[in-house]
Every structure is written in structure tokens, then in C-alpha cells.
Amino acid sequence: MKNKIPYGKHFIDSDDIEAVVNILKNKNLTQGDEVEYFEKAVAKYVNAKYAVVFSSWTAGLHVANIAIGIKEGDEVITSPITFVATPNSTLYCNAKPVFSDINADTVNLCVDTLEETLKKHPNAKAIIPVHFSGLPCEMEKISSLARQYNLSIIEDAAHALGASYEDGSMVGCCKYSDITGFSFHPVKSIATGEGGMITTNNKKIYENLLRLRSHGINKKSDNLVNKTLAYTDGKPNPWYYEMQQLGFNYRITDIQCALGISQLKKLPKFLKKRRELVEKYDESFSGMKNIVPIQVNQRNGSSNHLYVVRINFKKANISRMEFMNSLIEKNIYTQVHYMPIVMHPYYRSLGYTSSNLEKALKYYEECISLPLFYSLTTSDQSRVIAFVKEHIS
């Protein structure tokens, strides 16, 4: 049996292991210095003023909604082609996600459709554009629309650490948004096990995020309210802290952040290898009738988190299930990113339908993600390509 080829996989080397072991032997396991070191390193990398790291990007999305003031009765516009965490974060605030259709070529929000959606939803308070597969959305146009309709923007850049906009600035610099967030799940650009990071240039949002991450307590920069309890003879009491709002325990550990710092140093070579792999896939599938790679003309600015192709399974005379299972028999594993959110039973129970999401539905019928990760070898990629071509002309 040939070795297993997953659709995605983290890469850990001896430097990563040494960084984690150093924390285990010598430093705080949590709430120590590594958290802030990691935040500063990511903020510097993307050229943002502030960064706050969380136990997951899902946790980050939740508090991002709170930090921009999303509340019951509000609406937040996002993409139907994303992981459920994106709209769920709005539901956590008792607000309503609204889905606007995608661009068929990029699988990101279609800007023209977005404007029509905004006209129909006067209660919209924010937009969460999703940089699908690491390709940045048309953020200059989306930002212009947001200003026109007085909306906040949270960039869901879970896939997009290392990506850049058309002007060369980094996703995460927040020149087009209030907040940008990244995921450090093992299949993402860098891994911390679980984890996520928010960047922002807004000091008020930054301080609020610190508070929301840790039970409503911000020891770093909050002005203490109860002076009688906080001070003795005009000097601050060393034990004293205040919960000033309802927050959460969304903290990450120093163990994970040490891994993140080590991984971040390798990000340039991770991105370079991913681009080489997608270019080989693109070349291999060029000119084929029933298989079309997405985002093929926009590789340079993308972090190339996924390699997604659209397959006309009907013309290829094979179902997606049969195709995926035939690859599994060869120990090659693929995935589907993503089923439109409105098709999930929970969202159906809330009354969501597939109305006005024709491009998202068509995409879902055809999409499949092929293996793509840093340690994918030339021979294993060739094996994937050969077996795909064996079934799809």
C-alpha cells in the first residue's frame, strides 16, 4: 500500500520541538511572555499596530463581532462558502448572518451582488469578507461600499496569512477593515495546534479584545474604576484587578505561542513551496475539458491555502462520491470546501434557503480540494495528478 496523502498537513521540525520543550522546561505554560512575543511578531509581519491571539479563530470571530458592536437585531453580511464558524460568530451575538453570493471565478464575495444585498438589508451593521483559499477579496471595493453604508468590516483571513492585496500590502494590515483574523489550525499557513490571531489598528478595539479574551479583565491598560479598593495610600494594590465587562476564557497558552513564533519564521518557505505545488497542478490540468482549477490567474497574491478544482462530474461520467472513494482506495484523500452554509440542517431550521445563491450552489456541485501542504513530495503530487487524470478527462 502506498503512503497516505492527506488533503492538508502541518509541518513540524526540530526547531519547533525545541521551542516548545524550552517552554515546558523553563517558562510559564500560560499567561507568560511568549503570548505577547507572538502577537508582536505577527503584527510586525503584516504591518498592523496591534495583535491579540486567541484559543482559536472561532473565539476571535466571536469577540470581533462584540468588539465592533454587533448586537441583537443587527445583520452581518458574509459569504455562503466558508466554514460554519464565520456566520456562527454572528449568531453568538443574537444577530443575523446574511449570505451574499460569490464570484464564480474567485469564490470570494461578488462585489456587484454585495451591493445589491446591502440595498435589501438596511439593518446590516458589518461585512465579513472571507478570503477563500487565501486569495484576498476585492477589499478596496468592499471598503468603499462599507463606508457608503456606514458598516464595519471583519476580514476572515483564516486561510490568508502571508497573502497580499493587489497593491502589495499584507492581508492583516487592516488598511481596508476594522479587524482581520487568522487561523493557526494545523492545516493552515502556520500551526499552533489550535489558535487564532486578530490584528487591528484601532486602540479602543485592541483594548476591548484584551478584555473580552480574559473574563472581561484587562490588566494591561484598563483604568481602574473602584479607586478605594484599587489603592492603598495612593499606591496600587499588587493583587487587585477588575472585571469591567462580561468576557470569556479565550486565552491561548505559551506552549502554543512558542510553536507559533517558530513556525512564523518558516512562513516564507512554506508559501514558496505551496506556490510551486499549485503551479504544477495548474500546468498539469491546463486544457482539460472537465476539470478547471479556481483562482488560476491570481496565484501571486494568494497564500494558496487550498488547491480547489471544479469538476463536471456529469460529463466525466463519475459521481463525486465515486471519484473521492476511488482516490481513497489509492490512499489519496481529498475534501470539499465548502457546502454552502444555508444547506446545513441548523441553518435550515432557522429559515435559511438557497434563494439568490445560484453561483454558490453551482460551485458546491463541482468543487473538490486536492492534497496541498508543505511536505507534499514531487512524486506524491505526480501520483495525485495521475490518478485524477485517470478518472477525469
| Over residues 217-221, mean pLDDT | 88
3-state secondary structure of 390: helix
3-state secondary structure of 301: coil
pLDDT bracket for residue 215 (50, 70, 90) = very high
Q: How far is CA 216 from CA 66, 71, 137, 208, in A?
A: 12, 17, 33, 9
Q: By the 8 A CB rule, do 46 and 163 touch?
A: no
Predicted pLDDT at 2: 79
Q: Taking Cα atoms as reference points, which of 275, 82, 108, 265 lies closest to residue 183?
A: 82
Predicted pLDDT at 64: 98
Sheet containing strand 50-54, edge to edge, reads: 50-54, 196-200, 179-183, 152-156, 124-128, 75-78, 96-99
Predicted pLDDT at 220: 85
**Identity (one letter) of the amino acid at 30?**
T
Rounded Cα gap, residues 81 and 8, in angstroms: 19
Give Cα 198 to chain centroid, integer Å. 10
Element (H, E) at 242: none
Predicted pLDDT at 393: 80
**Count, residues in the chain:** 393
Rounded Cα gap, residues 2 and 289, in angstroms: 29
Q: Taking Cα atoms as reference points, which of 314, 316, 320 lies closest to residue 368?
A: 320
pLDDT bracket for residue 169 (50, 70, 90) = very high
Give CATH for domain 268-391: 3.90.1150.10
C-alpha angle with apex 156: 154 to 161, nearest 5 degrees? Answer: 120
| Over residues 1-17, mean pLDDT | 94
Which class is 14-265 in CATH?
Answer: alpha beta
The domain spans of the chain are: 14-265, 268-391
pLDDT bracket for residue 1 (50, 70, 90) = low
Copy the grid coordinates of residue 149.
453604508
> Would you say the C-alpha torsion 143, 145, 147, 153 has a positive or negative sign?
negative
Q: By the 8 A CB rule, do 305 and 329 touch?
A: no
The widest CA-to-CA distance across the chain, in whole angstroms, is: 82
pLDDT at 180 over 70: yes
pTM for this prediction: 0.97
Q: Taking Cα atoms as reference points, which of 346, 363, 367, 358 lies closest to residue 87?
A: 346
Residues 6+ apart with CB under 8 A from 290: 311, 312, 315, 316, 392, 393
> Would you say the C-alpha torsion 319, 325, 326, 331 has a positive or negative sign?
positive
Q: Taking Cα atoms as reference points, which of 124, 195, 127, 128 lies closest to residue 161?
A: 195
Copy the grid coordinates of residue 181.
483574523
Quick: pLDDT tens for 275-298: 999 999 999 999 999 999 999 999
| Over residues 97-118, mean pLDDT | 98
Quick: pLDDT tens for 81-96: 999 999 999 999 999 9
